[in-house]
Amino acid sequence: MYYSRIKLFSVISVCLIGLMLCVPNFVRKPVASIPWPQIHLGLDLRGGSYLLMQVDLSSLTHDRLQSLADSVRQSLLTAGLGYRNIALDTKQGTFSFQPRDPSEKDRDFRTVNDMPRAVADEFTVTTRPDGAILLTLSPDAMKTRARDAVTQAIEIVRRRIDATGAVDPEITRQGEDRIIVELPGISDPQHIKALLGTTARMTFRLVDETPAGSAVAPPGDTLLPLTESPGQTLAVRDHIDVDGADLVNAGATTDDQSGGWAVSFTLNSVGTRAFAGVTQANVGRRFAIVLDNKVIEAPVIRSAITGGNGIITGNFDARKATDLGLLLRAGALPVPLTVIEERSIGPSLGADSIRAGALSLMVGFLLVIVFMALFYGRFGWYANIALFANVTLMLAILSLFGATLTLPGMAGMLLTLGMAVDANILIVERIREELGRGRTALAAMQAGFERATGTILDSNATAFLAHVMLFVFGTGPVRGFALTITIGIATTLFTTLLLSRLLMVRWYALTRPSSLPV
């Protein structure tokens, strides 16, 4: 029943700080340089776009098999061995080839089996009855690679969206191979879809001039279409001489020769060395710049390029050059993404949701205030003051962390209003019981607080844990609901056990009534 000055000052200070943190949600920012934390509105309140994207995991298997096939060729040629009848089976996750000569079969097997694995037990090497050597990818290793690829894709999607200036995007994983992208305030997602639907994997490969005009690419080559002439193809080596992953910067610029738009790029030290080595050893040959399996251009190497800088020309306008620079800076997606579901919510619907949610909060708040005032008198008004502080602290915490408020979150706040007065009701009813047993006013208040506190803590602790689990394992609307309830439980305990108790105790200390108004 005793409140020290430090305790009194601490409780009041927390309430005042909470009130200050709520101000930015209702007042415009006066100066750009000062921090102004606000609650952000979610997709259902602000309007915007919802995209559900699926990761093409089959392409991950194909790319890894192609990479292993290139490594097998290099290893066999380095060992002085040959190969024929190369075959890739993406569905089965296998790669096979026939030895050049039956006498080389054992050496071929050992050479392939000794190749380094990206992860432990990534693939196994066996011999088929027809003498072919079969390399089979491990399903467990591919699951690990797929899980890592989806995680990496989420990060790259986040980088690309952030670069567009979108405010408060929500990017979450759904299941094993799906990504949800919510973009509040963006009602036309076509530009975002174009950015996210582009894998943006850029590679530099040598052009094979020997099969000119051939409809079938020889082993180790792939026929790729030209960006400016899709009907024409170019035989490009499968071996990647320089990977776009070594890019450290890219951006739109203008070509000094043509005056048109172009994209400049800068490589890191690894890419610079590789670029210098391949251009120095292949002067006079064409060097293709490949983006997402399409040849942007294939210039002839005139001299060694050792600076690590380059420029990509093509049929670019300002927007295309800017977008390509953004994609290259953000990094290539490890796997392609496909939009399988798209929804747009107009700002008018979001405004209606805000009005409906605010109205429900206001009506619920007023009904609780009237109920507590009618049934519990003065102590009911103290509970109402604590309830107002409770809502204020909830908004303050959401503002402090820049949380996103959704319609389910508003429902959670409304439910918290009803739950918040439960603890006060328990305390006041307990005080009534103690008065009925003949205790004095002071003893009844003391016993009421002591005996109700344990029950309040137990009930709120179980609810807190349940909603934490909802937040951890839930997605989308469930998490928004669980977040506000979890914060509401914490603020309810503070306002009930400290603030409302403080108000009752200070009233009793100042008035010393002979009876309690309950």
SS3 sequence of 402-460: CCEECHHHHHHHHHHHHHHHHHHHHHHHHHHHHHHCCCCHHHHHHHHHHHHHHHHHHHH
Determine the pLDDT at residue 397.
94
pLDDT at residue number 438? 87
Report the SS3 class of residue 488: helix
At residue 347 the predicted structure's pLDDT band, cuts being 50, 70 and 90, is: low
Does residue 75 register a pLDDT over 70? yes
**Residues 419, 64: Cα–Cα separation, whole Å:** 55
pLDDT at 215 > cutoff 70: no
Which tokens in the block code for residue 304? 């060694």
Of 497, 495, 492, nearest in space to 464 by CA: 492
Q: Which residue has the higher pLDDT, 422 or 334?
A: 422
Contact 206, 167 (CB under 8 A): no
Task: Report the pLDDT averaged over residues 34-46.
Answer: 81
Give 389's pLDDT tier (boundaries 50, 70, 90).
very high
**Assigned token pair, 153:** 């894709």
Residue 281 reports pLDDT greater than 70: yes
Residue whose structure tokens are 């509401």: 488
Check: CB of residue 350 under 8 Å from CB of residue 41. yes
* 512 exposure class (CB count in 10 Å sphere: 0-12, 13-18, 19+): exposed
pLDDT over 70 (residue 327) = yes
Mean pLDDT calculated for residue range 358-362: 83
Query: Average pLDDT, stretch 295-315?
Result: 82
β 40-41/404-405 pair status = parallel
CA dist 15 and 390 (Å) reads: 9
Among 396, 424, 391, which residue's Cα sits nearest to residue 496?
424
> Closest Cα to residue 310, out of 299, 318, 320, 294?
299
10 has a pLDDT exceeding 90: yes
| Torsion sign over Cα 60, 66, 70, 71 | positive
Alpha carbon distance 331, 249 (integer Å):
10
Average pLDDT over residues 180-201: 77
Averaged over 80-95, what is the pLDDT?
A: 84
> Could you tell me which of 240, 239, 255, 247 has the C-alpha nearest to residue 309?
247
Comparing CA positions, the residue from 112, 294, 267 lying closest to residue 200 is 294
Average pLDDT score over residue span 139-166: 83
Q: Is the pLDDT assigned to residue 330 strictly greater than 80?
A: no
AA identity, residue 458: D
Please give the share of the chain, as a percent, with pLDDT higher than 70.
97
pLDDT digits (tens, 9 = 90+) for 115-148: 887 777 888 888 888 888 888 888 888 888 888 8
Instruction: Please determine, for residue 78, whether its predicted confidence score (pLDDT) is greater than 70.
Output: yes
Model pLDDT for residues 421-476, shown as the tens digit of each residue: 888 888 888 988 988 888 888 888 888 888 888 889 998 899 999 999 998 888 77
Please give the pLDDT value at position 16: 94
Locus of tokens 């918040």:
420
Q: Among 56-65, 152-161, 190-199, name the one with the lowest average pLDDT.
A: 190-199
Q: What is the pLDDT of residues 467-511, one digit of tens each?
A: 999 988 887 778 888 999 999 999 999 998 899 889 988 898 888
CA distances from 451 to 197, 304, 429, 448, 470 (A): 61, 84, 11, 6, 30
Cβ partners under 8 Å of residue 296, min gap 6: 227, 289, 290, 312, 314
Query: What is the rounded CA–CA span in Å between residue 323 and residue 297?
Result: 18
Residue 2 has pLDDT above 90, yes or no: no
**How many C-beta atoms lie closer than 10 Å to residue 267's C-beta?**
24
Q: At 438, phi and psi to the nearest 5?
A: 95, 10
**Paired residues of 249 in beta bridges:** 266
Q: Give pLDDT, residue 326.
A: 80
Average pLDDT, the chain: 84
Residue 164 predicted with pLDDT over 70: yes
Cα-atom radius of gyration of the chain, to the nearest Å? Answer: 33
Confidence tier at 1 by pLDDT (50, 70, 90)? low
User: Which range in 206-220, 252-266, 327-341, 361-375 is most confidently predicted, on average pLDDT?
Assistant: 361-375
